[in-house]
Structures are given as C-alpha cells and as structure tokens.
Amino acid sequence: MSNIIQGAVTPNEDIIIMHLKVTAVSPIYTGENKVKEVKERKTKNRIPTRKSGDGFATINLSGILRAFSEKMLKSSGACDVARDAKGCGRPDCITCDMYGYLGKKGRVCVDELKTVRPFNEVVDISTHPRIDRDTGVVTKDQGPTIELEEIQEGAELVGNIVIRNPKERDIEVITGALKAIETHGLGGWTRRGRGRTKIDVTLEKIKWSTYKDIGKEEARKLLNPDKEKDKEKDKDKDKKSTQAVTK
C-alpha cells in the first residue's frame, strides 16, 4: 500500500478518489448474486463467477469493506449492519458516517472491482471432488464434483473508491480494511485459500471546482470542433517532423 495523503483535506470542498489495483495472489471465486445470471450460466455442477455486461469478471467490494471497517471499529462504537441492516445512524458511529444508513447516503462510494483483461482470458474452471468427512477419501458415488469458475492468479482488477467531503480518518479506516482483505481474503471459499490478493492504492485529490475547469475545456471542444481537428493535425505533423529529425 502506498501514497499517504499529502496535506490536509478541506471538508465540503475536496473529493478523494482512491484508485485500487488488486492482484490475485491465489484464485478468486467471486460468486454470482444475480438470480437470472445464475439460472442462465449454471450448468450441471458448475458455479459461475460474476461477469459484467461488457464481458469482464467482477467482484463486489463494498460489502466486505464495510464489514471489515465495522470489525476494526467495534470497540470505537461502530454498529454492525449484518445484525441491523438499516445501520444505527448515531452521529458518533464512524461507519454510518462513512458508508451511510437507511435514510442517509454515505460519503464513500465503492465501485465493483473489474478485471483488466476479458473474462475468458482470466477465468478458469477448477474442480472440487466431494470428500467423505469421516474417511477423508474422495467419494465417487456420493454426490457430485463441484466446479468453480475462478479468476486466476496474477490477474489484475481495478476499481475506485470515491470519498466526498473526506476526513483523514476515512483514509485510515479504508486502508486498514483493505489490509484486512489482503490477509483474510476476498470473495468466496477464503477458508480454502481462495481470494488472497495484493492491493495497491494511489490517491487523487480533486476539488469540486475542478469540474468547472473540466466543463470549460469540454465546452470549448464541443463549440469549436473544427479547431480541435486542426490541432490534432498539427500534433501529427509535429510527430512526423520529430521522427524525421531523429532518423
């Protein structure tokens, strides 16, 4: 984990974007929670891993991030949304303040993690024969072998966590929870060694007023499409001439 936040943050002005790069150290089984997808893609004993509409493997991060944040902060009075799905909403509850509760949106928005390469290139099927608990022997006749779709070791997943009106404590809590995810696993079958990851974080700090400048720049391009084309041409010319010089 890298890049400690530089300088203090100004509430109500700043937005922090945490760019995550997650590398699979052991295979990740993400599970699929859309009933329709499971019905369509589950064949025989094969359990599907979640696939995005545009063909990448994805995994939900928000649930586990909040769960580990709550575990970390239990002694500091954070509530447990596994027990109370609504969230307590007490002003001193750090996780309700960050992630929200019923009736109030959180300040922390967590993307799904998505593989950099397409689903078919990073997902493989592993088979798990059923083992008799008493004898420890693979049982051929009692019950089927389970097949799991898994994201393979070395695969990279990316996603952002966006924090509005950030507090420095938010970054501490999230990086702590991410460390816990590295150790305890992401996704399913973690007790069998699945879901070990390495998580790299880079921070980007922007201000709401940044969007004003972006808007200005984008509007200029939209209003002057011809000028933009000329600029592109000039760039190409510059490239060609420098290439000629270097030759």
Q: How far is the CB of 64 from Zn ion (least distance, A)?
A: 17
Among 108, 235, 239, 117, smallest CA distance to 163 is for: 108
Binds Zn ion (CB under 5 A): choice among 72, 88, 163, 171: 88
96 binds Zn ion (CB under 5 A): yes
Binding map of Zn ion across residues 67-86, x = CB under 5 A, - = no contact: ------------x-------
Nearer to Zn ion, 31 or 89 (CB): 89
Nearer to Zn ion, 79 or 155 (CB): 79
CA distances to 33, 37, 48, 116, 146 from 42, in Å: 12, 8, 6, 24, 11
Stretch that binds Zn ion, among 24-32, 93-101, 146-154, 193-201 (CB under 5 A): 93-101
- Count of residues that interact with Zn ion, criterion CB under 5 A: 5
Q: How far is the CB of 63 from Zn ion (least distance, A)?
A: 15
Nearer to Zn ion, 93 or 151 (CB): 93
Nearer to Zn ion, 74 or 227 (CB): 74
CA distances to 16, 106, 205 from 8, in Å: 12, 21, 11
Which two structure tokens, joined as six digits, stand for 52?
A: 């995005």
Q: How far is the CB of 79 from Zn ion (least distance, A)?
A: 3
Contact criterion met (CB below 8 Å) for 2 and 198 = no
Nearer to Zn ion, 94 or 171 (CB): 94
Q: How far is the CB of 161 from Zn ion (least distance, A)?
A: 19
Stretch that binds Zn ion, among 96-104, 155-163, 168-176, 196-204 (CB under 5 A): 96-104
Residues 6+ apart with CB under 8 A from 38: 32, 48
177 binds Zn ion (CB under 5 A): no
Which two structure tokens, joined as six digits, stand for 92?
A: 């001193």
Chain CA centroid to CA 72, Å:
20
Question: How many other C-beta atoms can be found within 10 angstroms of the C-beta atom of residue 112?
Answer: 15
Contact criterion met (CB below 8 Å) for 158 and 19 = yes
Stretch that binds Zn ion, among 27-35, 58-66, 90-98, 104-112 (CB under 5 A): 90-98
Q: How far is the CB of 160 from Zn ion (least distance, A)?
A: 24
Contact criterion met (CB below 8 Å) for 162 and 15 = yes
93 binds Zn ion (CB under 5 A): yes
The b/e string for 160-193 (b: 16+ C-beta within 10 A; e otherwise) is ebbbbebbeebbebbbbbbebbbeebbbbbbeee
Q: How far is the CB of 101 from Zn ion (least distance, A)?
A: 6
Contacts with Zn ion by CB under 5 A lie at: 79, 87-88, 93, 96
